[in-house]
Structure 1
Amino acid sequence: MDPCTSAQDVHRCDLCETAIAQSYCDFCHVNLCKPCIGEHISDEYETHKIVRFQDRKSTLLYPKCITHTPKNCEHQCKNCDNIFVCSSCTASEQHRGHIFVEVLEVYKSKKEVIEKDTENLQNLITPKYDEIALDLEKQLASLEGGYEKLTSAMSKQGEQWHREIDIVINKMKTKIGEIKEKHRDILQKHLEEINQIQSLINKTLLAMSEIKESREVTPTIEYSSKISEFSKLPSQIKVTLPTFIPNLIDREQLESLYGQITPLSSATEESLSSINEPNTSVNELLDEPELVATIKTGHTNIYNVTWLNENKFWTSGLRKEIKCFNIDGSLHQTKTTTSGEQPRDLVIDSNGNLLYTGSTSNTVKKIKNGQADELILFGLPRWVLVHLCVTSTGDLLVTMYNDDEIQSKVVRYSGFTEKQTIQFDDESKPLYSGSDDLKYITENRNHDICVADCDATAVVVVDQDGKFRWRYTGYPSVVTKHPFKPAGIATDSQSRILTSDHFNLRIHILNKKGQFLRYIDNCDLKNPWGVCVDNNDNLLVCECYNGNVKKIKYSK
C-alpha cells in the first residue's frame, strides 16, 4: 500500500516510510521505528529526545539561550523582567544574587489559566455575545417594518383629520354600539354560566331531597358531597362603561394635537452585573400607585422638599422659613434664613447638612446642625444661582441663568473650585433654555445629570462628562390638556427618573434611557412641584398651592 496515496491505519516511520513507528523524537517531531533511531541521532545526540510513540509531544520545547548556545532556558530571572536564562546564566556574574523561577512551573500555571479562560470564553462569554448579535440582527430585520408602520400611522391620522366632523361622529357612535354589544355579550355569557351552576345546584338539591326521603341504602351510601365544588364561587365581573373625552382644539395646539415624533434615542445600556455574578433584583412599578400619607406643612406655597434620613425631610416655600418634618407629619424643627430671603432650592450634602440657594443674595448657604447659616458659594458675575444637586462624589451641581435671560448652564463645584461647565452640545448649540429660572437638577445612579427644563418643555440629560444623551418632551395622552412643563425632578434606586408635570397634575416616570414607563395621576395631585425619593423608593411631592406634601408608594 502506497502511504502517499492511501489512507493509513497505523503511523509509519518518517525516515524509512515503511516500518511501524514505535518511537518519537520530541525535539524534531518525527516518527521513528527502532532501526531508524540510530540513524536519526547520529548527528547531534544531545539535542534529540527519543520517547515512546504513545508519549510523543510530552516534552516541552524550551527557548534557546542566546548567550550559551545551544543550552535550553529552563528558568526566568525575576530581577531582570522575567527574561529566560539557562543554567550557565544563573551562575554568571550578571545574575549574581538574583531570584529565579522554573519555567516549567510558570508554564503549568499559565496552562491552567488558559484552560480556565478557554472554558469561560466558550461557555459564558461567547454565548452572551451571540445573544447580543442575535438581538441586533432582529432589530435590523424589523427596521423597515417598524418605519413603515410609523409612516402608515401618520398617513392614517392625516386621512382622519380630513374627514367631515359628522362622519367622525357617526363612526364613533358605531364604535360605541359595537362596544355596547361586546359589553352585553360579556355580561350575558357570565350570566349564562351562573345560571348553569344554579341549575346544577337545584338538581343537586332535588337529588339530595329524594335521598333524604328514601329508605334505600345504596343511594345514601354512594352519596358524594358537592359542597366544596359549589363553594368555589365564580369571580364577579365588572365591566366599566367607556368614556368620551373630547380634545380641546385651537390653532396653536394643532400640531401637538395631531401627534409628535419622539427623537431617535441610542444609548449603551450598562451591564447590571458581571457574567459570573447573578443580576441584582429590580423593584417593579406598582400597577396602581398608592397614596400613603398627606402632610400639611403650613407653608402658604410650597416648592421644595428634600429627604434627610429615614424619618425626616426638609421643606420650603415662598417665605423665609425652612421646616423639617417627621415622616408622621409632626413638625421637628423650623429654621429661618438669616437674611430673611426665600430659598430657591434645598438639598442635603454628604454629611447630612442642609444647603440652600438664596433668592436675593445669589449664594449657596449651609445650615450645619441647625445652627447659623454658613456661606459656601458666591454666584458668578451676571449669573444667578437657581437649583442644586449634591453628587455621589460630594460635588455640587448648580443650575444658573444669565441676566441677559438667553443663557443657562450647569456648573460643577468642589468646594469653591469650579470643575466643570455644561452649556452646549457637540454642535455648540445650547443644551438648556435661557429665559426661565425653573431648572431643577438631579444626578442619576449611572452618574447622568438630569435637568427639568420647564421653559424648554423637556427633561434634558447629559452624561457625567457633559455629553448630550437624550431629551424627553412628554408622552402623548388623550387626557393631556396643557403643554408638558416639568418642575421638580428626582431619581430612585433603579435609575428611574420622576418629574412633576405641574399643569397636567401628574408625575412622569422614565427609565434611565428616557423611555416613558407610566404616569402617577391617580392620587388626587394638586399642582405638583418639587419632588424627592426616600431610601425605600417612596415619592414625596409638594402640592405647591395648598402647602401639602404627599407620600406616594409607586414601586414594589
Structure 2
Amino acid sequence: MALSKQVFPGDVQDIQVPVIAQHYLVCGTEDCKKNCQFYCNSCHQPLCEQCRDEHHIIPENKNHEVVPYRQRIRKLHVEKCKDHPTKDIDMICENCQVAVCSKCLIKYHRGHTFDDLESIYSKNFTMCLDKIYNINQYYLPTSQDIKRDIKEDVLKLKAFMDKIRTSIKAEAESVKRLVEKAMSDNLEQANEMEETLLEKLQSQDKAYDEYNGFLEILVKEFQDYLSYDKVQNNPILLSLSEVLNIKPIPKSTEPVYPVFTAGQYSKNDVAKLLGTVTVPTTKPASRKIKPMNITSTQLKPTRKLKEADGDELEVNQKLSLSSTAKSVREYIVPGVDCVYHISVGKSGILWASDRGGNLVQTDLQGKQLQMIKTSGRDDGYHTVSLDGNLIFADRTNCSVHSIIHGKTITRFIKTKEWVPLSIHTSSLNGDILVGIRTFLKGKVARYNKTGKEIQSLERDNKVQELYSEYPHYITENINGDICVSDFNKQAVIVVNKIGQHRFSYTGQESKIRPFGICTDILGHILVCDINSKTVHLLDQDGQFLSLLVTSQKGIKTPRGVCVDGDNNLHVGDGDTNTVIVYKYLQ
C-alpha cells in the first residue's frame, strides 16, 4: 500500500497553527480518494472505512492498531544513533532522560526503565497542539478582549475627566460671578460714601463763599466810613463799636475718609469655594477574566442558551449527527422569486430574500408577515440581532440599517467607500460582522452594538489578502471563528476571533462555489455549493464530513441555509421560493 503525499492535521507542518484543514482528509491507500476517518498506528497510514476493513483482512496486518483519526499516534522522524549508526533511536531512558537505541539500552542503561519514544513523542506533540489551540482560542482572544476593554476605559476616562474639568470651570464661573457681585456692591457703597462726604464739603465751601462775600461788603463799608467828608452824622463817630463788629469765621470739619479693609483669604480658602479633585481611596476592582472552557482540541464545545427570562443556562451538548438528513417539512415564501438567504429570528420568525432585493418576514409555515424592498442581491445581506430586530445592508448607500420592532428603519453603520455584501450578528456578544468590498478588495469589519467599528480583517499573518472582492456570505461559529463564503476565491475562509487564519476549505473532489453558510450548536459548518448543487457539512476544524443535502434529497439548487432554535436546517432553493427543513442532528 502506497502512502499519498497529503499533509494531515497534526503533522510537523501544522505546528504553527493548532488545527489545519486544507480541503479534506483523503485515504492514504493508493488510488482511493475517499474521506479519511481512521488511522493505522502501526504503519502510519490514513484509511477510509472501506480500506480499514480491507486493511485488517491482510494477515500481516492482523495485529495492527487502527484507531479513529483523531486518536492516532504521530509518526516519529527516523533518526540514527550516533554510537550505533545501523540502529534507530526509538526508546527513551526515564532514569537518564535521554533518547537511545536498542544497543545503547543494553550497553549503557542496563536495569533502567524505558518507554517507547514514539508514544511519548505523539503524546507530547498532541499536548503542544492543545496548548497552541488553547492559546489561540482562549488566551489570545481573552487578552485582546481585555486590551479592548482598556482602550474603552481610556476613552471613558477622558470623557469622565472632561466632565470634571467642565464642572471645575462652571464652579469657577459661579465664584467669579459672586466675586463680581460683591465687588459691585463694595464699589456702590464707596460711591455713596464719596457722594455724602462731597456734599458735606461742598456745603462747607458754600458757607465760606457766603462769609467771604460778607467780608468784602464789610471792607467796602469801612472804606466808605473813612472817606466820609462830613463830621455830622458820620457813623464812625457815632457808633464805632457796632460798625467794627465782624462775624466770626464759620467753623468746618475735616472729612473722615473711609477705610478699606482687605479680605483675609488664602489659596486654600479659594480652593474650598471652587471644590477639589481627589482620588478615591477605594481599591480598584480586578478585571474579570472569563474562565477557560477549552481544555483540548478533542473536546466537544458547550454553548450557553438564554431562557425567556434572560438567565443563562449552560447546556452540555448531547446531540450528534444522524446517519442521514431527513426532510421533515417544506414551505413556500410568498413575495420572493427564489430563496438566496435566510435569517432566523425569535419565536419561529424568519426573514428570506431573493436576488431581486425582496426581503420577506415569514413564520415557520411560510405565512408572510412583512415585506420590504432593499438593494440586496444574491448575498447574505441580512441578519437578526439578539433583540429580534432585523439588520440589513444597503449596497446603494454603503450603510447598514436596522428595523426596530418591525417599524422604524434606522441607519446606524456607514461603511464609507466600502460596499456591504454580507452581515451576521454574533450570538456570543451581539457584535455585527459585515463582509464588505471596494475595487478589487474585500474584508470583514466588526462593529459593536452602537455601530462603532472595532475590528478590521483584511490580511493574514503573512500579510496576504484573506478575501477577494466578494465575501458575500458570513457567519460565526460557537468558538468565535469567523467563516466567510468567498465566491471569487472559491473557498470558505475561516479565521479565529482575533483574525488569525485557521483554514480555507475549497471543496472535496472539485472546487466549490460557496453561497449560503451557517453553523450549528455543535460547531459544524454548513455551506451551499452551487457547482455540485449540494450542502457540504464540515466539522469545526474544516474537515469534510459529508454531503448533507443533495439534489436527490429535495432541493435542486441550494442557495441559503440557516439552523433554527430547534436545530433544524432550513435550505432555500435558488430557482424557486421553496424552503425545505431537514433534521440532521439526533
Instruction: Give TM-score, length-normalised by structure 2.
Output: 0.46
Rg larger for: 2
If asked which structure has higher relative contact order (CA below 8 Å, sep 6+), I would say 2
